[in-house]
């Protein structure tokens, strides 16, 4: 089994590269992935899967049943890109200005397509495998959208599994962790409204930039002075948008926040501090304010039994030296967390080697791991649906 699966997926590694190259050159952002979804659907249909499209707007579920076993397993990959300009000299570089697959979602989808082709040819399982191709992971919208659209009611599974490449981890190794693995993220926007004025007469205006600058610094005290050093929390102001001219006091300012917590109770405490500090700072500078709260975040919690079982399967497929079960938690976030709230399962990391981090303009998904990821999916399917 160890050699057969990996050799089988390596046999069409060049074809997988072609699939990934196509998606990488034609990136689409969250919930705009119409052409990508059509490309994925065409592939899995050609493999003989029963395909449902438009789940959660652009999501896809491809199902195949072999034999009479009633057991079912769900395998999930994401396929949205990022609004970041790629800075690479790849022969398959993004053709779209300001958009690129700089998180590896094109690679994730390619690995699941590779598993789909292998499984359709071998049919070495008894039961139902469901391939969940999910949009809009980057905005935390896709998972909730598919669930709300009846994902697990229309396409029932006993458990669901996810995987992500990770720069900095040894290439080709699979890393597992039971319990809390990734933080809940809350993407908020704070709008400050002041009063515009000529830059030479600031006394006639209300400056939202000064208010916003003070607010940025005040928000940094939440983690440093309100969160225990033994707990995990991050408050990042990633965007501060205001004004266009150096000689004018603008009317408005926008702050965009990424708030991450590894504990549900701590999350509520941190969010309350963001609200109260924003109110106090706005009042202090005589500005009006509005907080636009995004999709409520969720901590990604891996089911222990499923995690240990998946790691065992990985050892059977790749060997003991290729599996690590002591991965540290990440403050990054994943909307696969919402699926794990509904179903048991686990989410693992696949080492991408010594490359720039995901979301970096020079990030590169290492295509050498494509058959490894595909073999992992096949291994899980064949082991569960014996």
Predicted confidence (pLDDT) per residue in 133-180, tens digit:
999 999 999 999 999 999 999 999 999 999 999 999 999 999 999 999
Say if residues 209 and 220 touch (Cβ distance below 8 Å): no
Calpha distance 143→278 (Å, rounded): 30
Q: What is the pLDDT of residue 3?
A: 55
Q: Measured at the alpha carbon of residue 185, what is the angle toward residues 182 and 186, in degrees to the nearest 5?
A: 170
Helices (H), the chain: 2-10, 13-25, 34-46, 105-122, 142-148, 151-154, 208-219, 221-226, 264-284, 304-318, 336-342, 370-384
Check whether residue 81 and residue 206 sit in a common domain.
no
Q: What is the pLDDT of residue 326?
A: 94
What tokens were used for 228?
A: 């225990």
Does 290 carry a binding-site annotation?
Answer: no
Burial (CB count <10 Å: 0-12, 13-18, 19+), residue 245: exposed
Q: Is the model's pLDDT at 197 over the cut of 50?
A: yes
Does 328 carry a binding-site annotation?
Answer: no
Q: Measured at the alpha carbon of residue 206, what is the angle toward residues 205 and 208, in degrees to the nearest 5?
A: 130
What tokens were used for 116?
A: 């789909």
Say if residues 168 and 324 touch (Cβ distance below 8 Å): no
Check whether residue 311 and residue 287 sit in a common domain.
no
The residue assigned the tokens 């790749």 is 318
Looking at the chain, the whole-number percentage of residues with pLDDT higher than 70 is: 99
Check whether residue 117 and residue 9 sit in a common domain.
yes
Calpha distance 264→301 (Å, rounded): 11
Contacts 24+ apart (CB under 8 A), 264-267: 264/184, 264/299, 266/227, 266/231, 266/232, 266/233, 267/184, 267/186, 267/297, 267/299
Say if residues 345 and 74 touch (Cβ distance below 8 Å): yes
On whether the pTM is more than 0.85, the answer is: yes
Check whether residue 37 and residue 154 sit in a common domain.
yes
Which of 244, 265, 292 is the C-terminal boundary of a domain? 292
Q: What is the pLDDT of residue 2?
A: 46
Check whether residue 188 and residue 157 sit in a common domain.
no
Q: Measured at the alpha carbon of residue 165, what is the angle toward residues 163 and 169, in degrees to the nearest 5?
A: 120
Say if residues 304 and 179 touch (Cβ distance below 8 Å): yes
Nearest to 118 by CA among 2, 265, 6: 6
How many domains, the chain?
Answer: 2
Which of 267, 292, 317 is the C-terminal boundary of a domain? 292
Largest CA distance in the chain: 79
Calpha distance 225→219 (Å, rounded): 10
Which of 242, 263, 292 is the C-terminal boundary of a domain? 292
Check whether residue 173 and residue 206 sit in a common domain.
no
Looking at the chain, the whole-number percentage of residues with pLDDT higher than 90 is: 99
List pLDDT tens digits, range 241-282. 999 999 999 999 999 999 999 999 999 999 999 999 999 999
Q: Is the model's pLDDT at 102 over the cut of 50?
A: yes
In 10 A of CB 228, how many CB atoms? 9
Check whether residue 138 and residue 85 sit in a common domain.
yes
Half-sphere exposure (CA, 13 Å, Cβ side) for 348? 30
Q: Are strands 72-78 and 197-198 parallel, antiparallel or unpaired?
A: unpaired
**pLDDT confidence tier of residue 1, bands split at 50, 70 and 90:** very low
Check whether residue 239 and residue 312 sit in a common domain.
no
Check whether residue 136 and residue 265 sit in a common domain.
no
Does 211 carry a binding-site annotation?
Answer: no
Say if residues 267 and 186 touch (Cβ distance below 8 Å): yes
Check whether residue 167 and residue 70 sit in a common domain.
yes
3-class state of residue 93 by DSSP: coil
Calpha distance 104→282 (Å, rounded): 40
- The overall average pLDDT reported for the chain is 97
Q: What is the pLDDT of residue 4?
A: 87
- Domain with 323 in it: 2-182+299-384
What's the whole-number mean pLDDT along residues 78-106? Answer: 98
Say if residues 51 and 353 touch (Cβ distance below 8 Å): no
Check whether residue 349 and residue 202 sit in a common domain.
no
Say if residues 142 and 334 touch (Cβ distance below 8 Å): no
Q: Is the model's pLDDT at 49 over the cut of 80?
A: yes
Nearest to 337 by CA among 295, 294, 380, 297: 297
Domain at 234, CATH number: 3.30.70.360
List pLDDT tens digits, range 207-226. 999 999 999 999 999 999 99
Q: What is the pLDDT of residue 276?
A: 98
Check whether residue 172 and residue 216 sit in a common domain.
no
Say if residues 141 and 333 touch (Cβ distance below 8 Å): no
């Amino acid at each position: 089994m160890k050699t057969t699966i990996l050799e089988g997926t390596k046999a069409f590694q060049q074809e997988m590269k072609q699939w990934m190259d196509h998606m990488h050159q034609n990136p689409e952002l969250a919930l705009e992935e119409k052409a990508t979804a059509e490309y994925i659907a065409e592939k899995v249909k050609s493999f003989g899967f029963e395909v449902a499209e438009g789940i959660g707007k652009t999501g896809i579920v491809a199902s195949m049943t072999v034999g009479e076993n009633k057991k079912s397993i769900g395998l999930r990959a994401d396929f949205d890109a990022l609004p970041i300009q790629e800075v690479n000299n790849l022969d398959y570089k993004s053709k779209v200005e300001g958009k690129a697959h700089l998180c590896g979602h094109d690679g994730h989808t390619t690995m699941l397509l590779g598993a789909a082709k292998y499984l359709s040819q071998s049919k070495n399982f008894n039961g139902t495998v469901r391939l969940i191709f999910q949009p809009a992971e980057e905005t935390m919208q896709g998972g909730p959208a598919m669930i709300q659209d009846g994902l697990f009611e229309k396409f029932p599974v006993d458990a669901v599994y996810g995987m992500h490449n990770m720069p900095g981890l040894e290439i080709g190794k699979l890393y597992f962790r039971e319990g809390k693995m990734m933080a809940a993220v809350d993407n908020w926007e704070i709008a400050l409204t002041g009063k515009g004025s000529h830059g030479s007469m600031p006394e006639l205006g209300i400056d939202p930039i000064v208010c916003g600058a003070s607010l940025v610094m005040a928000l940094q005290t939440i983690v440093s002075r309100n969160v225990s050093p033994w707990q995990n929390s991050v408050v990042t102001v990633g965007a501060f948008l205001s004004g266009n001219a150096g000689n004018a006091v603008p009317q408005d300012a926008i702050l965009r926040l990424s708030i991450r917590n590894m504990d549900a109770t701590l999350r509520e405490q941190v969010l309350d501090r963001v609200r109260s500090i924003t109110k106090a700072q706005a009042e202090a500078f005589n500005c009006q304010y509005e907080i636009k709260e995004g999709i409520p975040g969720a901590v990604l919690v891996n089911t222990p039994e499923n995690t240990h079982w998946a790691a065992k399967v990985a050892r059977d497929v790749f060997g003991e030296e290729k599996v690590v079960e002591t991965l540290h938690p990440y403050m990054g976030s994943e909307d696969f967390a919402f699926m794990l709230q509904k179903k048991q399962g686990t989410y693992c990391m696949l080492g991408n080697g010594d490359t720039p981090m995901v979301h970096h303009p020079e990030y590169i998904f290492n295509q050498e791991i494509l058959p490894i990821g595909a073999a992992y999916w096949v291994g899980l399917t064949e082991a569960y649906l014996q």
